């Protein structure tokens, strides 16, 4: 039995019926890793020894009658989640060998359920990138075509899930970092509402945009993972103190009478015709299920990318100031004085994309430029949020593309940051507005590359986009496909 290809809910049943053990699942996952990891390179750190211990512990707990849905399930953790005693590097040289003394809240909640930690997943350095190519340890590859990128920044998470190197994975999404790689790898990725999942113990990139979410093989798994991680955390002042609904219970195949908004600004010339066609098919599927598709407008859509690159970099320039070589992380040993220590440690520790963003962010916050950039960026952000509020007066969820193209070749956009930044054009505004968005499989290109669609919901209405996604998933079979590796 290829246990590593199963979903969480399938394995949960098998465990319940004692048809397999967590140890068997875990061993199957590591077998798979041994086979495909040299090609895919999803992981920065593997924790087989820890995982097997956790699996054995889980098997003891399974003897009890009821057990949590993630008990004994091998999960991959993106390498910007702090994990006690397990290196957490953010795929950066500046944090190479960094051993956190504590677990972040999301990780702790997974561990509390008894999840098994497979290892730490590859990503763009400090989550800054759309292709995984800014990782200091090398690019994770797209299992659907190893010449191509898996998307980013949670590229390792998406690649590992689709390749069977873990059952599900965690990701973070600041401008599309969960949804884009999910779309490019035929997986399901959810970015919850800002404030739904605690950011405590996540290495910050842009604090007002960062959000934790899952990457999974299907929508049910996605709901289960979100359930485990969501909820108020007194350690994160921006996490909202709202009750968390039972997401799995709300999953049903029922969207009849729903209004699905199609923002016209998202169906532009740059959108790959094959993706456009797939989305049109998806709309037809929704109509068949009794939903209505109607055109809506988000007039400030075009301001999203520039606004994002002002606000996100401003916050990042400040968030990354603590990596200074003084207390932990990489330190240049030849520095003769304090200024040299800072300059050399940071110049050598950070990669080019991170440095580019720190410089951008420092610039937009500088005296004399603050009003022209940061303040205007905040105003534009308000307009973008208001666009969504207006659109949601007319519809329940929005349906959009995730990426303008399917997975591109390694190196294709690396020398052109602007081109790279534009690959987030359909996901970024969701972060700026703080809304929940899910990416799910909706087709393949003729050359066999996955296509994803995005469903966007109102604040704290994850259950609605999950339900729409579940309904669509039940009506289609795209999510069942696995890459040949």
What are the residue numbers of the active site?
Answer: 78, 153, 177
Piece in contact with other proteins (CB under 8 A), picked from 28-36, 201-209, 434-442, 454-462: 201-209
Is 366 a residue that touches other proteins (CB under 8 A)?
yes
Give the one residue of 137, 183, 202, 296 binding other proteins; rule: CB under 8 A: 202
294/375 with CB nearer other proteins: 375
Give whichever of 320 and 407 is closer to other proteins, judged by the CB atom: 320
Stretch that binds other proteins, among 12-20, 198-206, 251-259, 461-469 (CB under 8 A): 198-206
C-alpha 348/C-alpha 304 separation (Å) is 32
Q: Does 104 bind other proteins (CB under 8 A)?
A: yes
Q: How far is the CB of 131 from other proteins (least distance, A)?
A: 23
Taking CB under 8 A as the binding criterion, the range among 50-58, 164-172, 266-274, 365-373 that sits at the site for other proteins is 365-373
Rounded least distance, CB 371 to other proteins, Å: 12
Q: Could you say which of 57, 238, 242, 259 contacts other proteins (CB under 8 A)?
A: 238
Give me the least distance between CB of 168 and other proteins, in Å please. Answer: 21
Least distance from other proteins to the Cβ atom of residue 12, Å = 29
Q: By C-beta, is 200 or 392 nearer to other proteins?
A: 200
Residue ranges in 268-327 that form contacts with other proteins under rule CB under 8 A: 314-315, 317-318, 320-322, 324, 326-327
Write down how long the chain is.
Answer: 485
The answer to whether 123 and 117 have CB atoms below 8 angstroms apart is: no
- Which listed residue (15, 82, 226, 456) binds other proteins by CB under 8 A? 82
User: Of the candidates 109, 148, 196, 199, which one interacts with other proteins according to CB under 8 A?
Assistant: 199
Name the residue nearer to other proteins (CB basis): 222 or 230. 230
Q: Which span sits near other proteins by CB under 8 A: 233-241, 398-406, 439-447, 470-478?
A: 233-241
Is 98 one of the binding residues for other proteins (CB under 8 A)? yes
Q: Which residue among 28, 42, 54, 88 contacts other proteins (CB under 8 A)? A: 88
Contact by Cβ (8 Å): 206, 311: yes
Site string for other proteins, 131-170 (x = CB under 8 A): ----------------------------------------
Q: How far is the CB of 239 from other proteins (least distance, A)?
A: 9
Shortest distance, position 470 Cβ to other proteins, whole Å: 32
Q: Looking at 14, 55, 77, 90, which residue binds other proteins (CB under 8 A)?
A: 90
Q: Is 200 in the site for other proteins (CB under 8 A)?
A: yes
Out of 79, 218, 236, 353, the residue judged to bind other proteins by CB under 8 A? 236
Q: Does residue number 101 form part of the binding site for other proteins (CB under 8 A)?
A: yes
Shortest separation between residue 329's beta carbon and other proteins, angstroms? 8
Q: Using the rule CB under 8 A, is 241 a contact of other proteins?
A: no
**440 strand-pairing partners:** 453
Residue by residue, what is the 3-state secondary structure of the chain? CCHHHCCHHHHHHHHHCCCCCHHHHHHHHHHHHHHHHHHHCCEEEECHHHHHHHHHHHHHHHCCCCCCCCCCCEEEEECCECECCECCCCCCHHHCCCCCCCCCHHHHHHHHHCCEEEEEECCCHHHCCCCCCCCCCCCCCECCECCECCCCCCHHHHHHHHHCCCCEEEEEECCCCCHHHHHHHCCEEEECCCCCECCCCECCCCCCCCEEEEEECCHHHHHHHHHHHECCCCCCCCCCCCCCCCHHHHCCCCCCCCEEEEEHHHCCCCCCHHHHHHHHHHHHHHHHCCCEEEEECCCCHHHHHHHHHHHHHHHHHHHHHHCCCCCCCCCCCCCCCHHHHHHHHHHHHCCHHHHHHHHHHHHHHCCCCCHHHHHHHHHHHHHHHHHHHHHCCCCCEEEEECCCCCCCECCCCCCCHHHHHHHHCCCHHHHHHCCCEEEEEEEECCCCCEEEEEEECCCCCHHHHHHHHHHHHHHCCHHHCCCCC
- Could you say whether residue 347 binds other proteins (CB under 8 A)? no
Q: Phi and psi (nearest 5°) for 80? A: -105, 10
Q: Which is nearer to other proteins, 267 or 342 (CB)?
A: 342
The residue from 253, 370, 394, 411 that contacts other proteins (CB under 8 A) is: 370
Q: How far is 51 from 85, CA to CA, in rounded Å?
A: 13
Count the residues of the shown chain that bind other proteins, applying the rule CB under 8 A: 42
**By CB under 8 A, is residue 372 in contact with other proteins?**
no
CA of 57: how far to CAs of 6, 54, 61, 85, in Å? 21, 5, 7, 18
Q: Which position among 30, 43, 303, 374 is part of the footprint of other proteins (CB under 8 A)?
A: 374
* Ordered strands of the 259-263 beta sheet: 43-46, 116-121, 74-78, 168-173, 211-216, 188-191, 437-444, 450-456, 397-401, 259-263, 292-296
Cα–Cα dist 114/59, whole Å: 10
Question: Does position 332 bind other proteins by CB under 8 A?
Answer: no
Task: Provide the binding-site residues for other proteins, judged by CB under 8 A.
Answer: 82, 88, 90, 95, 98, 100-102, 104, 199-204, 206-208, 234-238, 314-315, 317-318, 320-322, 324, 326-328, 338, 342, 362, 365-367, 370, 374
């Amino acid at each position: 039995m290829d246990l590593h290809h199963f979903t969480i809910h399938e394995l949960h049943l098998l465990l319940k019926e004692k048809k397999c053990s967590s140890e068997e699942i875990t061993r199957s996952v590591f077998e798979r890793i041994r086979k495909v990891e040299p090609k895919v390179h999803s992981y920065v750190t593997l924790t087989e020894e820890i995982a097997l211990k956790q699996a054995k512990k889980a098997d003891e707990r399974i003897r009890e009658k009821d057990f949590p849905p993630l008990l004994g399930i091998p999960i991959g953790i993106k390498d910007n989640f702090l994990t006690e005693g397990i290196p957490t590097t953010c795929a950066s040289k500046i944090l190479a060998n960094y051993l956190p003394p504590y677990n972040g809240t999301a990780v702790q909640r997974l561990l509390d359920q008894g999840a098994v930690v497979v290892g730490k997943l590859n990503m763009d350095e400090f989550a800054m990138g759309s292709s995984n190519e800014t990782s200091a340890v090398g690019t994770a590859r797209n299992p659907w075509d190893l010449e191509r990128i898996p998307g980013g920044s949670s590229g390792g998470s998406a690649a590992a899930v689709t390749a069977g190197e873990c059952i599900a994975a965690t990701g973070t999404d600041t401008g599309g970092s969960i949804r884009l790689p999910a779309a490019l790898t035929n997986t399901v990725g959810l970015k919850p509402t800002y404030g739904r999942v605690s950011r405590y113990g996540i290495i910050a990139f842009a604090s007002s945009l960062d959000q934790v979410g899952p990457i999974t093989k299907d929508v049910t798994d996605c709901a289960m993972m979100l359930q485990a991680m969501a909820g108020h955390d007194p350690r994160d002042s921006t996490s909202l103190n709202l009750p968390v609904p039972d997401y799995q219970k709300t999953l049903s195949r029922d969207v009849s009478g729903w209004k699905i908004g199609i923002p016209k600004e998202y169906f532009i010339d740059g959108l790959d015709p094959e993706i456009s066609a797939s989305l049109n098919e998806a709309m037809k599927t929704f109509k068949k299920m009794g939903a209505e598709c109607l055109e809506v407008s988000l007039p400030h859509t075009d301001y999203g990318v520039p606004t994002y690159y002002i606000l996100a970099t401003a916050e990042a320039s400040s968030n990354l100031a603590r990596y200074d070589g003084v207390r932990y992380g990489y330190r240049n040993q030849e520095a003769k004085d304090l200024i040299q220590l800072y300059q050399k440690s940071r110049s050598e520790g950070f990669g080019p994309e991170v440095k580019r963003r720190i410089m951008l962010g420092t610039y937009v916050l500088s005296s004399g430029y603050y009003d022209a950039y940061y303040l205007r960026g905040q105003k534009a952000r308000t307009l973008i949020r208001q666009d969504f509020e207006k659109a949601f007066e007319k519809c329940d969820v929005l349906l959009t593309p995730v990426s303008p193209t399917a997975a591109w070749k390694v190196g294709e956009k690396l020398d052109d940051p602007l081109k790279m930044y534009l690959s987030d054009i359909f996901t970024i505004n969701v972060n700026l507005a703080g809304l929940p968005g899910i990416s799910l499989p909706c087709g393949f290109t003729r050359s066999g590359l996955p296509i994803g669609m995005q469903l966007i919901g109102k604040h704290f209405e994850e259950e609605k986009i999950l339900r729409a996604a579940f309904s669509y998933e039940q009506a289609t079979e795209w999510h069942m496909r696995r890459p040949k590796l």
